[in-house]
Amino acid sequence: MQREAQFIGQSSAFLDAVERTSRAAPMHRPVLVIGERGTGKELIAERLHRLSTRWGEPLVTVNCAALPEALIEAELFGHEAGAFTGAVKARAGRFEEADKGTLFLDELGTLSMGAQERLLRAVEYGEVTRIGSSRPLRVDVRIVGATNEDLPARAERGTFRADLLDRLSFEVITLPPLRAREGDVLVLAEHFGRRMAAELRWEAWPGFAAHVRRELEAHAWPGNVRELRNVVERAVYRWGDWARPIGHVQFDPFASPWKPAAPPCDKGADPAPAVPQANARPTPQAVQDLRAAVDAFEREIVAHHLGANRWNQRQTAKALGLTYDQLRHCIRKHGLVESG
């Protein structure tokens, strides 16, 4: 596999999905890959192709969401010259390009009902017809579809063809979100951190400070592995000091005191649902030891700002509104050391 196409993880939820992928790969049947954004659906499609007998044939990827509805059918099935305005010459579709290989349909749920109907015929009979032609073409294509939508619910509502869903769901591989992959966050963070350090030609990999490791594990990761990679690589290149553990990480790259203000929300609009944070601080009702809860929160705040200020204690004290002696007292109280 390519350098970017690596499977990193040790959690049982993740390994189960990889194992199911390996078992399904030799089958010449359609597969649906379900998962949130950033969970690695395209990597699963590539694994299905590389471990099949079609590995030497084309793997053609189509992002259905990136194409206008008017062009998606021409993209998938091709067209003859003069079939529509701008079609000055005949063009083979992605099905013909993927003949004998694998066609990966990303964002499958965005296909129009018309495109779904034509896709159904291609799956059922192995035939495609170019737009503007009456002559069907035989193709031998294994279809792998991916989506982050609930297709059975869509089928019940009538916005996705139930008969097409039946034909595509010989095997369904559902990828776990990163927040459900116990122990994988730090494994992935170390991998991405070491890779970024090598790219920056650091002499050694210093690792992450303890408070940063806790922050990484506590984050909910709505963007999953893709978000984690960006956060870690950004933290490493901004730190720029291979001799000391990474002491600061910024999850939101847009966070800034000068960011543009968001427009006011419509009064009738529903507020965005809150994303639950893994390992979040307990609610006031759940606190049974007030002093311990306050001390733990104080420690996290001080450790975070020390990392953000590269352990410059005078700058950290200023940022927290403390005197230098007060900050030194907090550092001793919580046993914080620069090595993390």
Contact 302, 331 (CB under 8 A): yes
Name the residue type at position 277.
Q
pLDDT at 38 over 50: yes
How much is the pLDDT for 340? 42
Among all chains, which residue has been given the structure tokens 């007998």?
A: 53
The answer to whether 62 and 17 are in contact (CB under 8 A) is no
| Domain layout of the chain by residue ranges | 12-176, 180-255+284-334
Tokens representing residue 162 in the block: 């139930």
Q: What is the pLDDT of residue 68?
A: 83
Rounded mean pLDDT, 238-251: 92
pLDDT value at position 180? 93
Residue tagged 């035939």 (tokens) = 127
pLDDT in the model for residue 276:
45
Measured distance CA(222)–CA(79) in Å, rounded: 40
Higher pLDDT, 249 or 85: 249
Contact assessment for residue 60 and residue 103, using Cβ atoms and an 8 Å cutoff: yes
Q: Residues 314, 320, 321, 327: what is their CA dihedral angle, to the nearest 10 degrees? A: -50
- pLDDT over threshold 60, residue 268: no
- The residues, any chain, with a CB within 8 Å of residue 279's CB and separated by 6 or more, are 214, 217, 218
pLDDT value for 2? 45
Does residue 275 carry a pLDDT above 50? Answer: no
Confidence of residue 297 (pLDDT cuts 50, 70, 90): confident
Q: Looking at the whole model, is its pTM more than 0.85?
A: no
For domain 12-176, give the fold: Rossmann fold (3.40.50)
Provide Rg for the chain, Cα atoms.
26
Which is more confident, 156 or 256? 156
So what's the pLDDT on residue 278?
41
**Cβ neighbour number for residue 252 with a 10 Å cutoff:** 8
Class of the CATH domain delimited by 180-255+284-334? mainly alpha
What string of DSSP letters covers 134-154?
A: ---EE---EEEEEESS-HHHH
pLDDT over 50 at 59, yes or no: yes
Q: What is the dihedral of CA 193, 194, 199, 204, to 10 degrees?
A: 120
Give the mean model confidence (pLDDT) for residues 234-262.
88
Calpha distance 178→180 (Å, rounded):
5
Of 30, 26, 19, 29, the C-alpha closest to 52 is: 26
pLDDT at 279 over 80: no
CB 79 within 8 A of CB 132: yes
| Phi, psi of 129, rounded to the nearest 5 degrees | -125, 120
pLDDT digits (tens, 9 = 90+) for 100-151: 999 999 999 999 898 899 899 899 999 998 888 888 899 999 999 999 999 9
* Cα 227 to Cα 221: distance, rounded to the nearest angstrom: 7
Rounded Cα distance between 305 and 313, Å, is 9
